[in-house]
Chains A and B, each alone.
Chain A
Amino acid sequence: MRLHPVSFFSLFFALLFMAPAPGFAQELEGRIRYLVTHDWSKKFAAVDYISKQARERNAYMWGNRSEWKVYTEMFITPTQTKYQDAEEKAEPEDEGYSWRKEEFMVQRNFETQTNYEVFTMLGKKYLLQDSIHGQDWKILNDMKEVAGHVCMNAFWEDTLKMQKVSAWFALDIPVSSGPERFCGLPGLILEVDVNDGGMIITADKIETRQLTSELDLPKKSKGKKITEAEFRSLLKKHVDEKRKAEEPPFWGVRY
């Protein structure tokens, strides 16, 4: 695309008269669909305790063939979000093998500052209830657009799960939430890249609509009740064991 050249003059005019792009903080209520792309060979490449040779060989042998895609969704109001696996299939349906979905949900209520999660880890179901714990994000200066929203870049390194997380949060959706366990930024997280493509979560569809029962908590589900701290220590124990066994830690644990 060839652009009209920008002269100093027109730039000056633009600065003077151009009304800034309307950037009102939206009172968003609706559903956001995220496309999640997993690449197990890239996940494997980030496991620092497995020998470099083994990781390089694995990446070389799998190339671009270790990807799979799923959809997740988030229901959002200015004060609440609920994130879970979506019904839609991201892989072509005609090839039809249907995997079982583990029960999974992350519910955050910003009025009561509570976080409620249901998930399966290592074959066991847990109910995590605690206050909202955001990550220690570093704010970077990059900008890009995701699903029609201009986003800023933030970075966090999870030393426990060996994940380098790059998140893009919307400046105009002032809800401090995001997909999976990611939250705590000044705007809603619309894209996350974990370990350079190991897992990429991108908002691909935003529907504004009045929500009815979508944010309701599921019926009492059975599972072990734990807190954030207990979850971290369970995870740490597992990663430490896998480190000793020199096996990747991510099978059986949501990435």
Chain B
Amino acid sequence: MKKVCLPLAFACLCLLLSSVLSAQTPSRITIKGTVFDTSGAEIPFATVMLLNPKDTTLVNFSRSDEKGVFSFKNVKNSPYLFKISYIGYIPYTQALATSPTEVNDLGIVRIKPITQELMEVVIRTAKAPLRIRGDTIEYDATTFKVPPGSTVEDLLRRLPGIEVDADGNIRAQGKDVQRVYVDGKTFFGDDPKSATKNLGAETISKVQVYDEKSEQAKLTGVEDGKKEKTMNLELKEEFKKGSFGKITGAIGTEDRWALRGNYNRFNTKQQLSFIAFANNINQTGVNWEDYGEFKGQNTFNDNDNGDFGFGSNRRGWYYFSGDDSPLNNFDGRGFTKNYGGGTNYNFDNKKSKFNISYFYNESTLNLDQYSFRETFLSDNSFTNTDTVTQLDFRGSHSISTRLEQEIDSNDIVIIKANMRLGSNTSDNRQGQLFAESGMPPTNSLELNNNTELSSWRLSGTAIYRHRFKKKGRSIAGSAGYNGSSSDGTENIFSLNRFFQATTLTEQIRQLNNNDNQTQQLKASLLFTEPLHKKWFWETFYNFSQTDNKVNRQVLNPEINNERIDNLSIFYDFNVLYNRLGSDVRYSYEGVNIAVGLAAQQLQLDGKYAIDENLPLLTDPIRRNFTNLIPNLDFSWQLPNNMWLGLNYGYGVEEPRLNDLQPVPNVNNPAFRTEGNPNLVPQRSHDVSGNFNYWNAASFANVGIGMGANFFDNNIVYNQTIEVIDSVGIRTTTRPDNVSGGQNFYTYLWSSFPIIKTKLTFDVNGNINANRSPSFVNGVENETRSNGYQVQAGLNLTPNPKLIVGLDGSLGFNKITYSIQESQNQNIQNHSVDASIKWQFAAKTFLESNLNYSVFRNDRFGFNQEVPIWNASVRRLLGKNNRLEVRLAAFDLLNKKVSITQTGTANYVIRNVASTLARYYMLSLSYNMRGYEDKLKKNGWW
């Protein structure tokens, strides 16, 4: 009890003391007064406020009554800023000190009206915030429109309350302006006109007019009571204007080197960027981060390809526009030397978006690859090994541009064009060895092919959209052109050696001239009509006409380049496509369903001759395919961040051009590829579904999906394998239509924290199954391929300076062949990966990862283990961490190799290619913005 009593007594004492003190300065007071205007009229219903004088925080507010009387009762006695604001009047502010009495009567407070012109014009018409600081009135110059090239004088003429006479003298609120400052400083001497006549209006953000002490008063420090009208012009605060860029140079062991750099300049409307790279470390392009900075706000675009109707993407969804992108696309095989560079310009003022971009990219590949292939027949099998040495050069110039212009809120036009010029030379030396399974080799084939190809591609699209006055009614139209041309020569030499036959060698030389041209015109229309609040009716029409001309002249260099008639072909192949369709869509509260039907017609016209000007080999072929295509899209956003989607479509895919050519391609005599001009389009029922869940509170994600294709008509590649005297084992592939065949896939991914923000677990799994029928030497073979893959990983971040990752994956691919079950394959690819990122000292980072992969195929006793260990240390230096020094070791164990294993149709193939293995590299980078002085946790979101 005593413990409670003491503070209680103390509190009582305090209370007593404070009431004694309040006799002098009361703790609670009443502040009152009456609001009048300068003409003497009382102001009813004015807003009166008490603010904290330190930071102008609102403490209390009230309103004057009909007679202008206001009071704040029982408020704390402390200093206040007292403020009155009333429409049409300059806000009134008065500092109030602590009151000695219980009632602080302010008496009559007079407030000044704002001139009606300022009120009407600045606040009402221009909707410009008018800033009033004491006597200063500030205009927002950006809201007063002047023609481009205008001077500040022209701008001032438009400001209410400001006059400029013919000589350029300025008057503000009836008084002559004596001084003009620019950003608070005098501008080229004392003449106020020098600034207003010379500065451009577009450089000004604000115009402030206020009274300043006279020059005399400033000099003497004696207040003479004279005030001079002064104007200050505030320059535009272009806080978003800037530039950034970085450059990296690196040298390494094994003659490795790399250079890359980028530079960007931007302001609120424009972005200009440059990028360049050169290296011999297998970076064939730029990384994603640099690419995003290069393309700027044109990295993502509406997927506006102008193809409306089923299968087209909805507008308003952003897509990564990666066509012809200079992103790194190295496939892991061989050694490359790469050069590239480009520039990009973006303009965006919300109504107009414009982009133009140029890029040059070249890559020289040196490849040594060993392949093993086993092909199964109904009664036996044969193998061939293949050793390739390839030198390949690819270079391309690409230019792309896009303009999106909003004409008004209901009309929009988009125009896009892309152009690409490419050249490719390739020198391919190949040695193949053939054997029947378990037997000694029968023959060897040496191939030496030289290819030169130059090509161009041009595409242009224009899209127009109009929205009608009726809400939800709209029309969109598009037109486009796609053209491409390639011109190439192939110089082919093959030498076939037979180990057992009577003919010991067979030599073929061949010169191919290939000239391909494609022109396509297309157009689409889409009309949307609202049926009811939640119901829409869409009708679309698509048209395209494609003309393909292929001219393949095969010459014999040994007989004066005479044409080999049975291998040469010219064909002109036209595809006319028409589709008319309609759907009904329901969209409401997260439920979006569209059900529709389209009629599609494909008309194929083909003409074949040995050369362009020679008589046709057959009568022109004309075929029509008409299909009715149903379509269903269903997406449902459930509560709590769950999404469910279902789609059904009927796919009709015209045959590929190469599959239609009526003469064989025998660049490699052992693998002959035939076309089939009688192919009909592939048709399939395609279904898919997906479910996603995201829990914002627990940071957990789950996604599940599945899909299947059921083929009504499937284009498959039948094989005929025979032993031919002059060739040895020859495989002939020919496409044909069969009914049947299915694909099925399902996947699951999930990621969730075990310990929030510290330990995260993620898991992925997928199953792929497909059945495809085909004929091998006339016997039907069904290949069933079942793939299973599962990956799981842990990511541990015990503190911000350390991130540890552990990941493992298992992959199985089981392939069975109905013609020969003993050949069933079980291909396995497994790997584990451990990584660490550690900031072990100030501005110093260690990054390392170890990957251990196993490639197996038990039936061949193949089992290869590939451990790859990379490690690097980097340190940031300099002011703002602008410099980075990095020492990196790649593939410390010197084991790097590329292995791929695939099994399809009636064969299984394994490729092993050498690639860049162990090297060490020292690099120095400079970043204008500075590098982040911490570990990168998240790549992208």
Could you tell me if A186 and B61 are in contact, using CB atoms closer than 8 angstroms? yes
Q: For chain B residues 451-496, which have a beta carbon within 8 Å of chain A? A: 467, 471-474
Using A25-B45, A98-B587 as known contacts, say yes or no to A61 and B57 having CB atoms under 8 A apart. no
Could you tell me if A141 and B937 are in contact, using CB atoms closer than 8 angstroms? no
Closest to B111 in A: A20
Could you tell me if A172 and B87 are in contact, using CB atoms closer than 8 angstroms? yes
Could you tell me if A15 and B123 are in contact, using CB atoms closer than 8 angstroms? no
Could you tell me if A95 and B58 are in contact, using CB atoms closer than 8 angstroms? no
Minimal beta-carbon separation of B922 from chain A (angstroms): 24
Minimal beta-carbon separation of B507 from chain A (angstroms): 57
Q: For chain B residues 628-678, which have a beta carbon within 8 Å of chain A? A: 635, 637-641
A1, A15, A187: which contacts B47 (Cβ < 8 A)?
Answer: A187
Could you tell me if B297 and A139 are in contact, using CB atoms closer than 8 angstroms? no
Minimal beta-carbon separation of A55 from chain B (angstroms): 11
**Quick check: which of B124-132, B508-516, B779-787, B887-895 contacts chain A, the rest being far away?**
B124-132
Closest to B941 in A: A247
Complex: A6 Cα to B114 Cα, angstroms = 13
A16, A101, A137, A144: which contacts B58 (Cβ < 8 A)?
Answer: A137
Q: For chain A residues 125-170, which have a beta carbon within 8 Å of chain B? A: 136-145, 150, 152-154
B244, B467, B639, B697: which contacts A252 (Cβ < 8 A)?
Answer: B697
Q: Does A190 contact B (CB under 8 A)?
A: no
Closest to B62 in A: A186
Q: Does B558 contact A (CB under 8 A)?
A: no
Could you tell me if B57 and A171 are in contact, using CB atoms closer than 8 angstroms? no
Complex: A100 Cα to B590 Cα, angstroms = 4
Could you tell me if B757 and A142 are in contact, using CB atoms closer than 8 angstroms? no
**Quick check: which of B35-43, B209-217, B571-579 contacts chain A, the rest being far away?**
B35-43
Closest to A7 in B: B174
Closest to B295 in A: A61
Q: Does A229 contact B (CB under 8 A)?
A: no
Using A98-B588, A150-B87 as known contacts, say yes or no to A238 and B697 having CB atoms under 8 A apart. yes
Complex: A11 Cα to B696 Cα, angstroms = 60
Using A2-B157, A142-B131 as known contacts, say yes or no to A60 and B266 having CB atoms under 8 A apart. yes
Minimal beta-carbon separation of A165 from chain B (angstroms): 13
User: Within 8 Å CB of B589, what residues of A?
Assistant: 98, 100-101
Binary B-proximity of A9-20 (CB < 8 A = 1, otherwise 0)? 001001110101
Q: Does B197 contact A (CB under 8 A)?
A: no
Q: Does B119 contact A (CB under 8 A)?
A: yes
Complex: A100 Cα to B592 Cα, angstroms = 10
Minimal beta-carbon separation of A171 from chain B (angstroms): 5
Q: Tell me how many residue pairs across A and B have CB atoms closer than 8 Å.
A: 235
Q: For chain B residues 264-302, which have a beta carbon within 8 Å of chain A? A: 264, 266, 271, 289, 292-293, 295-297, 299-300
**Quick check: which of B185-193, B314-322, B854-862 contacts chain A, the rest being far away?**
B314-322
Q: Does B160 contact A (CB under 8 A)?
A: yes
User: Within 8 Å CB of A171, what residues of B?
Assistant: 47, 85-87
**Quick check: which of B24-32, B48-56, B96-104, B840-848 contacts chain A, the rest being far away?**
B48-56
User: Within 8 Å CB of A207, what residues of B?
Assistant: none
Q: Does B175 contact A (CB under 8 A)?
A: yes
A21, A63, A124, A141: which contacts B87 (Cβ < 8 A)?
Answer: A21
Q: Does A53 contact B (CB under 8 A)?
A: yes
**Quick check: which of A73-81, A86-94, A107-115, A210-218 contacts chain B, the rest being far away?**
A86-94
Could you tell me if A57 and B130 are in contact, using CB atoms closer than 8 angstroms? no
Q: Does B88 contact A (CB under 8 A)?
A: yes
B51, B117, B585, B756: which contacts A139 (Cβ < 8 A)?
Answer: B51
Main secondary structure on A side of the interface with B: loop
Complex: A144 Cα to B61 Cα, angstroms = 20
Highest count of chain B CB atoms <10 Å: which of A91, A138, A171: A171
Q: For chain B residues 523-544, which have a beta carbon within 8 Å of chain A? A: 528, 530, 534, 536
Highest count of chain B CB atoms <10 Å: which of A60, A137, A185: A60
Minimal beta-carbon separation of A252 from chain B (angstroms): 3
Complex: A1 Cα to B125 Cα, angstroms = 10
Could you tell me if A142 and B88 are in contact, using CB atoms closer than 8 angstroms? no
User: Within 8 Å CB of B38, what residues of A?
Assistant: 15
Minimal beta-carbon separation of B74 from chain A (angstroms): 17
Could you tell me if B174 and A11 are in contact, using CB atoms closer than 8 angstroms? yes
Q: For chain A residues 2-40, which have a beta carbon within 8 Å of chain B? A: 2-3, 5-8, 11, 14-16, 18, 20-21, 23-25
Complex: A46 Cα to B937 Cα, angstroms = 19
User: Within 8 Å CB of A15, what residues of B?
Assistant: 38-39, 113
A1, A7, A51, A99: which contacts B637 (Cβ < 8 A)?
Answer: A99
Chain A interface size band reads 35 or more
Q: Does B771 contact A (CB under 8 A)?
A: no
Using A51-B934, A93-B471 as known contacts, say yes or no to A152 and B88 having CB atoms under 8 A apart. no
User: Within 8 Å CB of B19, what residues of A?
Assistant: none
Q: For chain A residues 209-255, which have a beta carbon within 8 Å of chain B? A: 238, 241, 244-248, 251-253
Q: Does B502 contact A (CB under 8 A)?
A: no
User: Within 8 Å CB of A98, what residues of B?
Assistant: 534, 587-592
User: Within 8 Å CB of B637, what residues of A?
Assistant: 99-100
Q: Does B864 contact A (CB under 8 A)?
A: no
User: Within 8 Å CB of B230, what residues of A?
Assistant: none
Complex: A122 Cα to B639 Cα, angstroms = 11
Closest to B529 in A: A94
Could you tell me if A144 and B174 are in contact, using CB atoms closer than 8 angstroms? no
Complex: A15 Cα to B116 Cα, angstroms = 9
User: Within 8 Å CB of B61, what residues of A?
Assistant: 185-186
Binary B-proximity of A42-72 (CB < 8 A = 1, otherwise 0)? 0000000001111011001111110000000
Complex: A6 Cα to B56 Cα, angstroms = 34
Closest to A123 in B: B640
Could you tell me if B56 and A140 are in contact, using CB atoms closer than 8 angstroms? yes
Could you tell me if A94 and B467 are in contact, using CB atoms closer than 8 angstroms? yes
Highest count of chain A CB atoms <10 Å: which of B271, B641, B934: B641
Could you tell me if B115 and A14 are in contact, using CB atoms closer than 8 angstroms? yes
Complex: A98 Cα to B641 Cα, angstroms = 14
Minimal beta-carbon separation of B15 from chain A (angstroms): 27
Minimal beta-carbon separation of B318 from chain A (angstroms): 7
Minimal beta-carbon separation of A193 from chain B (angstroms): 11
User: Within 8 Å CB of B757, what residues of A?
Assistant: 241, 244-245
Could you tell me if B314 and A97 are in contact, using CB atoms closer than 8 angstroms? yes
Using A61-B299, A174-B63 as known contacts, say yes or no to A142 and B129 having CB atoms under 8 A apart. yes
Could you tell me if A24 and B473 are in contact, using CB atoms closer than 8 angstroms? no
Minimal beta-carbon separation of B58 from chain A (angstroms): 5
Could you tell me if B297 and A8 are in contact, using CB atoms closer than 8 angstroms? no
Minimal beta-carbon separation of A61 from chain B (angstroms): 5
Could you tell me if A56 and B929 are in contact, using CB atoms closer than 8 angstroms? yes
Could you tell me if A8 and B132 are in contact, using CB atoms closer than 8 angstroms? no
Could you tell me if B297 and A62 are in contact, using CB atoms closer than 8 angstroms? yes
Binary A-proximity of B72-88 (CB < 8 A = 1, otherwise 0)? 00000000000101111
Closest to A150 in B: B87
Q: Does B228 contact A (CB under 8 A)?
A: no
Using A23-B45, A96-B585, A245-B757 as known contacts, say yes or no to A152 and B85 having CB atoms under 8 A apart. yes
Q: Does B623 contact A (CB under 8 A)?
A: no
B132, B173, B314: which contacts A143 (Cβ < 8 A)?
Answer: B132
Minimal beta-carbon separation of A155 from chain B (angstroms): 9
User: Within 8 Å CB of B83, what residues of A?
Assistant: 139
Q: Does B503 contact A (CB under 8 A)?
A: no
Q: Does B749 contact A (CB under 8 A)?
A: no
Q: For chain B residues 230-288, which have a beta carbon within 8 Å of chain A? A: 244, 264, 266, 271
User: Within 8 Å CB of B315, what residues of A?
Assistant: 95
Could you tell me if B293 and A53 are in contact, using CB atoms closer than 8 angstroms? no
A25, A96, A140, A252: which contacts B536 (Cβ < 8 A)?
Answer: A96
Contact sample, A vs B, 12 pairs, CB 8 Å cutoff = A6-B174, A63-B348, A93-B530, A94-B536, A96-B536, A136-B58, A143-B132, A171-B86, A171-B87, A244-B757, A245-B699, A247-B938
Given A15-B39, A93-B472, 16 additional A-B pairs, CB 8 A: A23-B86, A25-B45, A53-B931, A64-B353, A65-B297, A97-B587, A98-B591, A139-B51, A139-B56, A144-B127, A145-B124, A174-B63, A184-B58, A186-B58, A247-B941, A248-B941
Please list the 8 inter-chain residue pairs (A to B) with the smallest Cβ-Cβ separation, ordered nearest first.
A252-B696, A63-B297, A100-B590, A8-B174, A122-B697, A23-B87, A94-B474, A98-B587
